[in-house]
Structure 1
Amino acid sequence: MTARIVERGEELRRIGAALGAAALGSGTLVVVEGPAGIGKSRLLAEACALAEQDGFQLLRARGGALERDLAYGAVRQLLERPLAALDPAARADVLGGAAALAAPALGPPALADPARDVPAPDQPAPGGPALGGPALGGPALGGPAPDQPALAAPALGEPAGSTPGPASPPDRRFGVEHGLFWCVANLAERGPLLLTVDDAHWVDGPSLRFVHYLARRVLDLPVALLVALRGDERGAEPTLAAELTVEPDAVVLRPQPLTADGVAAVLGERMASPVAAEFAASCHAAVRGNPFLLSELGGALVADGVRPTAEAAGRVRRVRPHTLARAILLRLARLPAGATELATAVAVLGDAATPALARDLARLDEPTAAAALDRLAAAQILSPALPLDFVHPIVREVVDGELGPAARADWHARAAALALAHGGPIEHAAPHLLWTTPAGDATTTRALRRAARGALDRGAPDIATRYLERALAEPPPADERAATLLELGGAGFLAGEPITAVKAHAREAVSLIDEPATRVGAWLLLSRLTAMDQSVPGAVAVLEEALADLGGAPGVDPEQLAALENELCGHGQTHPQTLARAVARMDERAPPAGRTPAERLALCNLASRSCFTGRSAALTGELALRALAGGKLATDLGPDSNSLHQVAFALAAADHADATLTLLDGVLAESRARGSVFGVAGALGTRSIVRYLIGALPEAEADGHQALAVPGVPPFVVPAISGFLALALVERGALDEADAVLTAGGCGPRLPEVLHMHFAFWARSRVRAAQGRPADALDDLAELRRRCERVELRNAAIPWRADAALLHARVGDDDAAARLAGEYDELARAWGTPRTLGIAARTRGLLAEREQGLVLLREAVALHESSPARLEHARSLLELGAALRREGLRAEAIEQLNRAAEVATQCGATVLAARAREELGIAGAVGRQHAFSGVEALTPSELRIARMAADGLTNRAIAETLFVTAKTVENHLGRTYAKLGIRSRTALADALGSDAAP
């Protein structure tokens, strides 16, 4: 290739601009897309040269046909050498904090002990079947996917202590991606970075997903991210690679073929002679302006002694691109013995090729191999320097393309054997085994299964699925087929494979396992996969089938059966079609003592049932606390469990706010440490709900937004989180935003009839009521009522009947208003918390005659004073003050309205506070005006970050915790300082005063 780059000035200018922006702290994604040989790699090389001159750190990777089956292979190319070059202290700093979550991708996988590779007959292999036990207690308020039970959560979780049989590994993808991002961000703190990923169409899926993750956050980092890909190539993840071209703010470069003048410039330098226009035109037509093919043509012309004259143009006119590719093979064939074999070995080995390994694979002696390497470099087949590589991917493709199917399978089989014989990790052999011909070899299946466990440990279930599908095709020995099927089911589920296919694997495994005790895990996996395919009723039917199959069977531990029973009851009570059967099973048993994991899960179900039916807050709280067992339940299940969120909601509804927040803070900390998508999103979402119920609106809003922004947030938690976030937004007057959140969360006629999703209709009714659309709000509440009745959801903690009573009064239907107020009062008395009793009293007071109304409103205020529900307290104070003002009791009215404004302001309820001030103005008092500076002017996100900074956390620590960039934290703090009238974080604590998050 010429030393001078031709006709790429605009591309280099835009790359230079990206480097300049990165040097100033603002990152850019640049995607170079084009066909093979157009010069993408050359542009990346020029970018590296420019960046190196400007003091950038260079992180480089390149995809390969073999490496696309190696989990995080490209990521390790990017990061292993830069990290290894750091001294131990610097490396520990770069890999500290959230970056530690990247360890599975960067370090050797935590492979299973080889002795476990061969399970006993009919014994599912470790790491295989059931998706773990985190949801054995049933779905939480945040529960399952649309019309599906809590399935994805267990799949994301660690094995539960009560889970019968082996449990699947956790889904590490989000944690690994988050950790890798912070690894890059921490490296960027040491100086601007240039990351280049060449041949991205061949990059492994996990690495590509990280590139996407980084691309969406690169703007806030001093990082230039350059990715080159073929737009027409179908690699392992073609769609994922191509999607980089449509990333927001991506700079997409599509280099065009060289013009005839460009061809003349290149040939003139290569051939050291002026190029005639006719000759340049012929060469341009021959290679169609492709720079690589032009380089090949130029080399051939020089070798043949052709001069670039007009007379010689005829010799070029017969050349076509495919003949140039064939010329590579002719050049190779003319080399001495061993060269073709060695080139083939390098093509087969890919990035793992070393001189020794290539020599052994080619079956050459050392002198012959050394001579062949020198000649291959001289012939511009291989690069002249180590590591071994071809001068261009096209050359590698031409060499590899000469192998027929049988020969390719043989070469890769020998490469896999060599990789194992040289003592390398199993993951170096596994990609080769994918190319071999199935032959019923037990060693092959066991190696692939072991490699699949390693891929899962790295957070690459898609790679693990590929290995296991190949293992199943081998096929495995008959006594290992069930274990392989279960492993494939678990990995396929995590990888997002079609549920029907994954479910078929689990169903076949159930039929193959003879030992009843070992079928339990397979039944659990099948039930959860069926849930994803057929909704709650399908999952319950499978569990009923499992209990019929295993009940009374020899060797089955009662604890295992209890786990299946609890799974059934947890799912079943959330859906109208299965409610009666689940409740019948629950009613047949007395509350357990909570001594075992299964008993604690049973208590979770009973607490949920008590909560949903509104039976008694005291009983619900007692059952929930017994289920928690002083932290044992969290240990049983791990932080990803739906059951923990289920208990949290029951506790919060029963007015145990402090215990609930303590539980959720612990779940959130553990989930962050593990990098669990469901654990983080679920804990934040449930904490948002709890904080809304107690009136901590800025915190509820910040938690809700953060939960929905967690990358990869499971869709089944979105409707509930969206609903309570919308409720908090209504209190701030952000009605359009609340409406948009609910629409994005799926609220509407097609929202599945799974219990936890119904609350979205309550939220939408409040949005519509605040928009001045009472009739539409009542329509939402009518739909909510229908859904609640079908699952016996009667808890007064969700006071939609009180809302409906006031809306009916607003439209003039006093009879309906009185009836609904009475219904709610009855439910509130049954539930028995000060919060719900106060809402009931306030509702009846607003509907009652003047004197009786004042009595009831005073009762509401008194009840709410003893409740953790500060928002309801502010609302009751406001309604009492307004009623007193209407009765002419001015002094007392002003007192109550001032208290209302104060409490509402503390809650962040700006609409309520404004209304209190309006009432004060009508009463003749001067209410406190809205603050445009100070703490009250801070947004929920600004307030959260300010509090964390005041507590001594660094910008980096705050960013890691909140899943944002350090620059985002810096920007929030800058706005906060301006609003608070301070200049540094040292003044934050005093500026925030006593304002503290609950």
Structure 2
Amino acid sequence: MPGPQREQNAAAALFERELELDTAEKAVRRLCGHVSEGRSRLGGLLLYSGEAGLGKTSLLTELRRIATETERCTVLFARGSESSRSVPFNVVRQLLQPALAPMTTVARQDLLSGWYDIAGPALGISPPSGPQDPQGVRDGLDWLVTQLAMKGDPVVVIIDDVHWSDAESLAWLTSYAVRLREMPLLVALAFRPHELPDHTPAFRELIDGRSARPVELRALTPDAVAGLVESAFGEGTADGQFCREVWAVTGGNPYEAVELIAKARERDLKPLEESAALLRELGAAARGSGLVARLDGLGNAVTRFAFAAAVLGTEISPVLAANLAGMGPAQGADCADKLRKARILTGVTQLEFVHPLIATAVYSAIPAATRTAMHGQAAWSVSEAGQGAAVASRHLLEVHPDHDPELVEQLRTASREHLAVGAPDAARRCLERALREPPPEEERASLLYELACSTLLTSPSTTINHLKSALALPHLTEELRVDATYRLSQVYAHNNQLKEAAEVISVQAERTPPGAGRMRLQAAHYLWKGIQSEEVDAPARSRRISELADHLQGRDDAERALLAIRAFDGLIRGEDAVQVLDRIDRAMVDGRLSDGMSWTNTEWGFELPSIVGICLLYTDRLDRAKELFEEAIRAFEISGWSGIHLAFAHDFLGYAHRRLGQLDEAEKLVREGLRLAYRLGPGLPIQWDGTCMLIDTLLARGDVEEAQVVAEENGFRPPYTPAVVLPDAMCLAGRLMLAQGRRKEAIVELEAAGRRLEERGRHNTVWAPWALDLAVAVAPDDPERARTLAGQAVRHAARFGADSALGEALRMAAKVVEPQDALKMLDQSVGHLRKSPCRYELAAALVDHGVALDAAGRTAEAEERLREGGEIAAVCGARGLVRTVRALLPDAVCEETEPAG
């Protein structure tokens, strides 16, 4: 568009926008406040809503000018494109590449820190290294934008035509928007309200929320349009009827008004009443079929070039458009010039349509068959230009199915490229299109497997369907069949369908010949069976896994996997902790996870190293467990796995701190794990783990009311998850009821837990302390039963043998026996717990022993125990124990401090 015309359009769009401009200018000034002037930098969100042509772009352009010229901000700009909505991270790259381009590779790596290899491929600044977790990529983008905002000038992010943003960019933008008020970052977005996409419902929630209401741009008034006419034709030259007709024809739309006035001047119309009748014909020529007719008037070659530009979409290369239109560069340059003069295209080295309305009209005018053919040619041209299969894929998606194996292969390649930048939905679209081609029959099963892998992190139910379809076909290789079965079982398990997970593995294992593949499936079968809370044949399954694994030495990963599963089974059954640890040692290599069973190894999944860590947690090897889960967090963050994997690692590292008695750190980590888990959607097993761990930690702290709040917020109520969680959900529910004084309800809950666990031979008193809590609950009414229950629990703890288990069992049992027996038990409890790393349990035993000694009149010994217990409790952050000690010893010094470690 010629300079004067562009300025006139901008001026028209800013008519009657004084309030919006004032608001935008104030937002920029708040952003750029300086502490020396008594002002802090405040970010925020500006939303502009309006139909096409109402001036959103001009308003954002003026905001850019204010931010750049007046306040010296760093301005990041991008525009959504109707034709590029399927290109992952298209808007993100427009925003951030200009800021990153001047930097050296080293400077970019320093800026992105550990996120360089994760977010770099999505940004187009580093080569992909393999599939990326979408949440990890979003977290990397969060880090980058935060660094830009905090380390330099305040940042203004401006995005026009947000309704045409790609799903990946919009998902990131929506999740990041909640942090805007925390940093010097202003985001301004413009969109058409009736064209918002369905792929990101969270964006609709954002703009419908209370934190930032959209400013709705409205059409110009008749007076404003009259002002436009006079500014174009000269003041005092236009009569009222002519101005009124311009407003009526355009509906006060600024863009259409300016175009209509420009055409009137080209036709040398006088701005008088007698010319008003001609305005409707001129207005029709500015849009829809009228625009196409005007385009046809420029000649066939120019029309072909315009069609090619419309197919290419945004950032149109003149050479590429000429090639697609079937002409040489010189003729293409001539066509581009004519289209610029006709106010259809603008730009020189990179072309774009003057307005999205024009681009839409031109694209819609292309005959369907021609459009499909041009997309096919565009895909080839883009690939030849070295832009890659992922860029070409948006054109391939528009080509009609035609049994073309080459197109199938191109789409599969594009899918891999999309996965490598963290865009599984784009990968899915490519593979679904490839299936419609259709592919050669012998490739269909492997394509379905790839399609399932593309939805693995985002849609469990879809993944299940694709994997089942792939397994039903005859052309999968044996290796892929085993892998598809294993992945299917994982998805079932993560979707709370543990019975289906075990069943599908069992069926496929019978069809698999002896060898590593079969052993892998057998291991998975026993894993999913073993973590079912309602397993039907638990004792028989335990015998089978024992027969299969006890003699193994851990010579390969299949043997190590079976040993880890056997160790976990022994753990929850309460078998000898020494034997559990012996199996764990054989499942590791020199005390560490093998490469094949590492946290990010996809062959076995993260479940196997998880159960290794759990076994260490409950056998008092807490330093090793803590180190293992810290390693998990590092591995997942480096790999960009920020979904269920990172949530799990935070939860279990938190629980290692809980077992160590570092309750402050435990609470922080588990809350972070829950926050990460809830980004994935409701009702997943990992949310149950986090909820149980947090409630258990809060009860240890003495925060019973807060524990109940967490229970209510997280749906901690029957029916409980079918998966084994830590600690056992039903036992924990009973303990919470008991802490609240709901003794009768606690008895019912704990008795039900006991029946379920006893039937399955699960006797670990630390993981599932139902008998100890039930003994306390029934003691007032049936002291004999209470002693029987407590004695049984102590025997199970002694069989297990871990000092923490036996010490805690003796402490709880002492609550229901005669006072003299209680003193002896509590002394033994303290002795065992001193040898364990569980500092909170030691503090509890010391305090209980002190209370019992005080009741027996042994005041000096009682004070010694209480003071020591109070000091340890304070370091642990166990506020309830501290309150108990202070009630008995008002002068006790037990101030809470930062937890050790």
Q: For the Cα contact (< 8 Å) 1:201–1:238, is it kept in 2?
A: no
Which residue of the other structure, out of 576, 581, 587, is the alignment partner of 2:546? 587
Q: Is 1:804 aligned to 2:774, yes or no?
A: yes
Match of 1:916 in 2: 885
**What is the distance in 2 between the residues matched to 1:681 and 1:533?**
16
Shift in Å, 1:551: 3.2
Q: Secondary structure at the match of 2:54?
A: coil
Shift in Å, 1:254: 1.8
**What is the distance in 2 between the residues matched to 1:109 and 1:567?**
36
Structure showing greater relative contact order (alpha-carbon pairs closer than 8 Å, 6 or more residues apart):
1
Q: Secondary structure at the match of 2:47?
A: strand
**What is the distance in 2 between the residues matched to 1:631 and 1:60?**
51
User: Deviations 1:499-551 (Å, cap 9, x if unpaired)?
Assistant: 3x752454334422265444222322333445567811212221111112123
- 1:56 aligned partner, one-letter code: C
State, as a whole percentage, how many aligned pairs show the same letter: 29
**What is the distance in 2 between the residues matched to 1:567 and 1:180?**
36
**What is the distance in 1 between the residues matched to 2:302 and 2:699?**
74
Q: Secondary structure at the match of 2:455?
A: helix
Q: Is 1:570 aligned to 2:527, yes or no?
A: yes
Match of 2:665 in 1: 699
Which residue of the other structure, out of 844, 851, 859, is the alignment partner of 2:820? 851
Q: Which runs of 5+ in 2 are unaligned?
A: 1-8, 34-40, 601-605
- 2:621 aligned partner, one-letter code: H
User: Deviations 1:587-616 (Å, cap 9, x if unpaired)?
Assistant: 331421111011111111001100111112
Q: Is 1:43 aligned to 2:43, yes or no?
A: no
Q: Secondary structure at the match of 1:462?
A: helix
Q: For the Cα contact (< 8 Å) 1:2–1:269, is it kept in 2?
A: no
**What is the distance in 1 between the residues matched to 2:131 and 2:285?**
48
Match of 1:163 in 2: none
CA pair 254-439 structure 1, distance change in 2 beyond 3 A: same
Which residue of the other structure, out of 82, 100, 104, is the alignment partner of 2:121? 104
User: Deviations 1:203-243 (Å, cap 9, x if unpaired)?
Assistant: 21111121123212222221111222222115473635434
- 2:118 aligned partner, one-letter code: L
Q: Is 1:660 aligned to 2:625, yes or no?
A: yes
Match of 1:613 in 2: 573
Q: Is 1:330 aligned to 2:293, yes or no?
A: yes
Which residue of the other structure, out of 342, 361, 368, is the alignment partner of 2:331? 368
Shift in Å, 1:920: 1.6
Q: Secondary structure at the match of 2:497?
A: helix
Shift in Å, 1:321: 7.3
Which residue of the other structure, out of 73, 76, 81, is the alignment partner of 2:98? 81
Shift in Å, 1:655: 0.7
Q: Which moved more, 1:389-398 or 1:583-592?
A: 583-592
Shift in Å, 1:277: 4.4
Q: Is 1:187 aligned to 2:195, yes or no?
A: no
Q: Give the CA RMSD over aligned residues.
A: 2.6
Q: Secondary structure at the match of 1:748?
A: coil
**What is the distance in 2 between the residues matched to 1:79 and 1:88?**
15
Q: Which moved more, 1:473-482 or 1:583-592?
A: 583-592
Match of 2:744 in 1: 775
Shift in Å, 1:788: 3.1
User: Deviations 1:774-795 (Å, cap 9, x if unpaired)?
Assistant: 3333344344335434654321
- 1:876 aligned partner, one-letter code: A
User: Deviations 1:28-49 (Å, cap 9, x if unpaired)?
Assistant: 1222222222222222211111
**What is the distance in 1 between the residues matched to 2:114 and 2:786?**
55
**What is the distance in 2 between the residues matched to 1:262 and 1:769?**
73
Match of 2:391 in 1: 428
Shift in Å, 1:267: 3.1
Q: Is 1:230 aligned to 2:192, yes or no?
A: yes
**1:469-548 superposed matches below 5 A:** 469-496=432-459, 498-499=461-462, 502-513=464-475, 515-531=477-493, 535-548=497-510
Match of 2:6 in 1: none
CA pair 525-300 structure 1, distance change in 2 beyond 3 A: same
**What is the distance in 2 between the residues matched to 1:707 and 1:430?**
37
Q: Is 1:406 aligned to 2:415, yes or no?
A: no
**What is the distance in 2 between the residues matched to 1:739 and 1:284?**
63
Q: Is 1:728 aligned to 2:671, yes or no?
A: no
Q: For the Cα contact (< 8 Å) 1:32–1:252, is it kept in 2?
A: yes
Q: Is 1:622 aligned to 2:582, yes or no?
A: yes
Q: For the Cα contact (< 8 Å) 2:259–2:286, is it kept in 1?
A: no
Q: Which moved more, 1:561-570 or 1:224-233?
A: 224-233
Q: For the Cα contact (< 8 Å) 2:445–2:469, is it kept in 1?
A: no
**What is the distance in 2 between the residues matched to 1:789 and 1:249?**
53
Q: For the Cα contact (< 8 Å) 1:32–1:255, is it kept in 2?
A: yes
Shift in Å, 1:826: 1.9
TM-score normalised according to structure 2 size: 0.91
Which residue of the other structure, out of 597, 600, 607, is the alignment partner of 2:557? 597
Q: For the Cα contact (< 8 Å) 1:378–1:384, is it kept in 2?
A: no
Match of 2:37 in 1: none
CA pair 456-896 structure 1, distance change in 2 beyond 3 A: same
- 2:367 aligned partner, one-letter code: G
Q: For the Cα contact (< 8 Å) 2:117–2:126, is it kept in 1?
A: no
Shift in Å, 1:448: 0.5
CA pair 753-443 structure 1, distance change in 2 beyond 3 A: same
User: Deviations 1:447-466 (Å, cap 9, x if unpaired)?
Assistant: 11001001001111000000
Q: Secondary structure at the match of 2:190?
A: strand
Q: Secondary structure at the match of 1:174?
A: helix
CA pair 585-507 structure 1, distance change in 2 beyond 3 A: farther
Shift in Å, 1:392: 0.9
Match of 2:614 in 1: 649
Q: Secondary structure at the match of 1:495?
A: coil
User: Deviations 1:94-113 (Å, cap 9, x if unpaired)?
Assistant: 2324455311212378579x
**What is the distance in 2 between the residues matched to 1:111 and 1:404?**
38
CA pair 579-627 structure 1, distance change in 2 beyond 3 A: farther
**What is the distance in 1 between the residues matched to 2:285 and 2:424?**
39
Shift in Å, 1:651: 0.9
Q: Secondary structure at the match of 1:526?
A: helix
Q: For the Cα contact (< 8 Å) 2:156–2:185, is it kept in 1?
A: yes
Match of 1:974 in 2: none
**What is the distance in 2 between the residues matched to 1:541 and 1:560?**
17
Q: Secondary structure at the match of 1:752?
A: coil
Q: Which moved more, 1:879-888 or 1:896-905?
A: 879-888
Match of 2:3 in 1: none
Shift in Å, 1:303: 2.5
CA pair 733-875 structure 1, distance change in 2 beyond 3 A: closer
User: Deviations 1:288-341 (Å, cap 9, x if unpaired)?
Assistant: 332222233222332233344455444446887797433322332222442211
Q: Secondary structure at the match of 1:95?
A: helix
Match of 2:516 in 1: 559
User: Deviations 1:238-286 (Å, cap 9, x if unpaired)?
Assistant: 6354343146633422212222223223333334345544444433333
Q: Secondary structure at the match of 1:876?
A: helix
Q: For the Cα contact (< 8 Å) 2:132–2:639, is it kept in 1?
A: no
**1:117-516 superposed matches below 5 A:** 170-188=131-149, 189-233=151-195, 235=197, 237=199, 239-246=201-208, 249-274=211-236, 276-310=239-273, 312-316=275-279, 324-496=287-459, 498-499=461-462, 502-513=464-475, 515-516=477-478
Match of 2:511 in 1: 549
